[in-house]
Amino acid sequence: MQQDSFSVAKEKRAQFNPNPLSKIVVVLALDIIVIVHPLPDWVGLAIVLVLTLFCTLAGFFSMGLKACLFYLLLFMIPPIDGVMAYPALLKMFISFFLIVRIFYLPIFIGAYLVKTSDVGSILSSLDTIHAPKSISIPIAVMFRFFPSFHEERRNIKLAMKVRGISFKNPIAYVEHVAVPLLIMCSTIADDIAKAAEVKCIENPTPSIRYTEVKFQLIDAVFVGIMGALLVGGLTWLK
């Protein structure tokens, strides 16, 4: 009975989870626009609020709330024109957080894409547009890197805590964390390459997908809202 209720709740969340292709399109559009020209502050705030809502609908309320609160703190930083009269050191400090605020939008929506998209749905959605296996398989196995990296990083932090190594000694902390992370990244990269070979990337064959992903009304809503905000922001700049 408990498993049935869990399945129903998961299915309801899936109804409010856009297709991975829709999220990828929005991610690419936002990345390109941010690189070409930063968006107005009100557009960035609106995008963060929309993403927070979609994170909540997908069952990741904590992630959306933390990201929204962090961006609200960045939003309070005065614009670059208002800090030109500040001392040089303070100006550099504030400018760093202004840069973080600009690139926080692509980071947030990228985290939303990774968190709410599993490998099966990504492969199924790429198959619907007949993407070549040489593209879909590397993208799919690449998504396995982030959960593995997060898990290994948490294990390394736990091991450092058990050994009594804290951030009070930054040099030792960086040494004992950075070296295992570099080795772990190399190991994960090798595993990803092996996974691509196991999936016959060199000799692709027709596959049967047990995960079926369709375009729904939520895709039109998600892409429509994001598209309207991006177009509105570019129009506002002109």
pLDDT, tens digit, for every residue of 91-143? 777 788 888 888 888 889 888 988 888 777 787 777 777 777 777 777 777 77
**pLDDT-derived band at 224, boundaries 50, 70, 90:** very high
Question: What pLDDT is stored for residue 210 in this prediction?
Answer: 61
d(CA 91, CA 79): 11
Tens-digit pLDDT profile for residues 37-57? 778 888 888 999 999 999 988
25 pLDDT exceeds 80?
yes
8 A C-beta contact, residue 102 and residue 34 = yes
**pLDDT-derived band at 7, boundaries 50, 70, 90:** very low
Residues in the chain: 238
8 A C-beta contact, residue 67 and residue 48 = yes
Question: What pLDDT is stored for residue 50 in this prediction?
Answer: 92
String of DSSP letters for 160-174: HHHTT--TTSHHHHH
d(CA 101, CA 151): 27
Tens-digit pLDDT profile for residues 165-211? 666 666 766 777 777 777 777 777 777 667 666 666 555 566 666 66
